[in-house]
Structure 1
Amino acid sequence: MSASPLTVRVLQHGKYETVAMLRNGEQLVLAIVLPMLALAAIAVTPFFDVLGVPRLGTGTPGVIALCVLSTAFTGQGIATGFDRRYGVLRFLSTTPLGRSGLILGKILAVGAVLALQLVVICTTAVLLGWEPPLTGVLPALLMLIPGIGAFTALGLLIAGTLRPEATLAVTNLAWVLLAAVGGTIIPRSTLPDAIEPIVAILPSAALGDGLRAALTSGTFDFLSFALLSGWAVVVGLAAVRWFKWS
């Protein structure tokens, strides 16, 4: 019996991964609760006022970037690391799915869960008074495509090369650093001059900058899109090349 076409295999694996993520309580905390807490903190604290920028106008795109970081990078990295430890990936290696199919399926699952996150976060932000320009919706969605690809591939690269315990430590530490000073919630332009040039080349800053440009002024940030796309291609190829099933 011949294997199903790659498209069918990827779609089926994406469906499986989506259901698994939605049934995982820890994943849902990363996906919904933490970004909601960040949004509430932005809405009720004067921190962004000190930066001289609108609270929800600048903060909400940062929270959306944080959702991508949480779901695509940390969530997938940790889940895949432990799947590798307990032999789930070794079983998948015996199927026609392949590394490319595994990565593409996980990217589809991240996209499906992120769609749910966007509905919850954006609805809450609008109820709190956020008024994004409608012309920025399409540029924001376009910016999310390479963002999801880059962070999913980065999470899988770490999970596929390090031990599960190390993956847990590295992804959580990276999440904290990127959320705090990586240009996601806090715009990189407000960071100290000593670290701003370094942060500027990170995918987290590119995603944050691109989403803020789209959802505050309705413009498409081509430079951020190009940087994110470059990260997605390079890290994606690295994950396909060095990912280990066991």
Structure 2
Amino acid sequence: MTAPAGHPAPGRHAAAPGARRVLAQAGFEARMILRNGEQVLVAVVIPVLALVGLVQGTFVEIDTAGSSRVDFLTPGVLALAVMTASFTSQAIATGFDRRNGVLRLLATTPLGRGGLLAGKVLGVLAVEAVQVLLLGAAAVVLGWRPGVAGVVLALVGVVLGTAAFTALALLVAGTLRAEAVLALANLLLLVLALGGGVIVPADRLPGPFAALASWLPSGAFGDVLRGALLDGSLPLLPVLVLAAWAVGLGALAARFFRWH
């Protein structure tokens, strides 16, 4: 006996539609990050504490170019928070999934490799939505009042930044051992946070950092969010630099990523 056309054969279950599989994987990825205390600490708690400390504290002198401290610092802290979710958390999780054979197993399911990667990206965006809401709420309490147009433009920057740093995460996680990924992801985040033009604009960094940082994805990302949220516009050169990093890193990740 054969099953009617369009129905699974007896004893078999049809795979869910592709979009549903991707959304299910995205929900799983987001829950795994948000249920991990260490990841929540790095991705949410530390950025909120950093924002409050930098805005309220007087231990660091910051030239805000006429803006209030909260207006000047919020875009950079938002950029740093997005980097923790899209790069550090994603690189470490993917690196250990690869070592443990999880990626190879999932790639053979109906989800497929493309669906797995799409689910990871959507999961990162879901975590970033939580980050942006919590950081935005904290900034509003501290006196931040962004314009609506600036917020919309900043979302464009967040998507570009997420693409660039997720691609970097996959490149690192797909080419190095899990232990090396853990060390390198945390080290890179620290270096980029301190000297990569994220919180403090590149032109205010000392010496060679000033010339280099604006061409890094971190510096370009910080400049894009500052342009959107401070000036209500997207600065062309940082947008192009960030988009170039997203495309280039994406191509390298697609070429060199190993599933086992």
TM > 0.5 between the two?
yes
Shift of 1:3: 6.0
Identify which range, 117-126 or 2-11, moves more after superposition. 2-11
Distance 1:122 1:92 in 2: 35
- Compute the RMSD of aligned alpha carbons: 1.8
Distance 1:156 1:217 in 2: 33
Q: Is the 8 A contact 2:203 2:211 kept in 1?
A: no
SS of residue paired to 1:151: helix
TM, length-normalised to structure 2 = 0.88
Distance 2:133 2:166 in 1: 20
Matches within 5 A, 1:19-30: 19-30=31-42
Shift of 1:10: 2.6
1:9 equivalent in structure 2: 21
Identify which range, 84-93 or 121-130, moves more after superposition. 84-93
Shift of 1:98: 3.8
Q: Is the 8 A contact 1:135 1:218 kept in 2?
A: yes
Distance 1:50 1:113 in 2: 30
Superposed structure 1 runs of 4+ greater than 4 Å apart: 1-6
Q: Alignment length, in residue pairs?
A: 246
2:56 equivalent in structure 1: 44
Which of 162, 187, 202 is matched with 2:176 structurally? 162
CA shift in 2, pair 1:121/1:102, >3 Å: same
1:173 equivalent in structure 2: 187
Shift of 1:169: 0.6
1:37-88 per-residue CA deviation (whole Å, 9 max, x = no partner) reads 2101211223664424431111100110011110000000111111112221
Shift of 1:112: 0.7
Matches within 5 A, 1:87-166: 87-166=101-180
Distance 2:31 2:19 in 1: 19
| Structure 2 runs not aligned, ≥5 long | 1-7, 9-13
CA shift in 2, pair 1:16/1:203, >3 Å: same
1:33 equivalent in structure 2: 45
Shift of 1:137: 0.9
Amino acid at match of 1:76: Q
Identify which range, 100-109 or 150-159, moves more after superposition. 100-109
SS of residue paired to 1:244: coil
Distance 1:99 1:239 in 2: 13
Distance 1:221 1:244 in 2: 36
Distance 1:97 1:235 in 2: 24
Distance 2:98 2:69 in 1: 41
Distance 1:43 1:89 in 2: 42
Distance 2:20 2:248 in 1: 25
Distance 1:17 1:29 in 2: 17
1:228 equivalent in structure 2: 242
Shift of 1:108: 0.6
Identify which range, 99-108 or 18-27, moves more after superposition. 99-108
Identify which range, 89-98 or 198-207, moves more after superposition. 89-98
Which of 182, 199, 221 is matched with 1:207 structurally? 221
1:128-147 per-residue CA deviation (whole Å, 9 max, x = no partner) reads 11122222011101111111
Q: Is the 8 A contact 2:29 2:123 kept in 1?
A: yes
Distance 1:231 1:5 in 2: 33
Of all paired residues, the percent bearing the same amino acid is 48
Identify which range, 119-128 or 23-32, moves more after superposition. 23-32
SS of residue paired to 1:51: coil
